[in-house]
Amino acid sequence: MQTMYKHILEAKKGNQKLLAVLIDPDKIDIDHIPEFFKKVHTSIITHVFVGGSTDAEKKMGIVVKTIKQNTHLPVLIFPGSHEQITEAADGILFLSLLSGRNPKYLIEQQVQSVEKLINTSLEIIPTGYILIDGGVETAVQRISETKPITQDSIETIMHTALAGQFSGKRLIYLEAGSGAKKAVNTNIIKEVSSKLKIPLIVGGGIRSKTQLNAAFNAGADLVVIGTAFEENEAFLLELKNLEC
Each residue's pLDDT tens digit, 90-137: 999 999 999 999 999 999 999 999 999 999 999 999 999 999 999 999
Is 73 contained in some domain?
A: yes
Q: pTM for the whole thing?
A: 0.95
Is 118 contained in some domain?
A: yes
Is 244 contained in some domain?
A: no
Is 129 contained in some domain?
A: yes
Mean predicted confidence (pLDDT) in 23-50 = 95
Is 164 contained in some domain?
A: yes
Q: Phi first, then psi: give them for residue 173, nearest 5 degrees.
A: -120, 110
Is 69 contained in some domain?
A: yes
Q: What CATH number does the domain containing 122 carry?
A: 3.20.20.390
Taking the alpha carbons at both ends of the chain, their separation in whole angstroms is: 30
* Max Cα–Cα distance, the chain, nearest Å: 45
Overall number of domains in the chain: 1
CB-based contact 205:134 (threshold 8 Å) = yes
CB-based contact 125:4 (threshold 8 Å) = yes
Q: Phi first, then psi: give them for residue 2, nearest 5 degrees.
A: -70, 130
Q: Which residues contact 56 (CB under 8 A, 6 or more apart)?
A: 26
DSSP state of 48: E
Question: What is the residue range of 78's domain?
Answer: 4-238
Nearest to 101 by CA among 144, 47, 45: 144
Confidence label for 240 from pLDDT (cuts 50, 70 and 90): confident
Nearest to 77 by CA among 97, 63, 57: 63
Is 243 contained in some domain?
A: no
DSSP state of 99: T
Confidence label for 191 from pLDDT (cuts 50, 70 and 90): very high
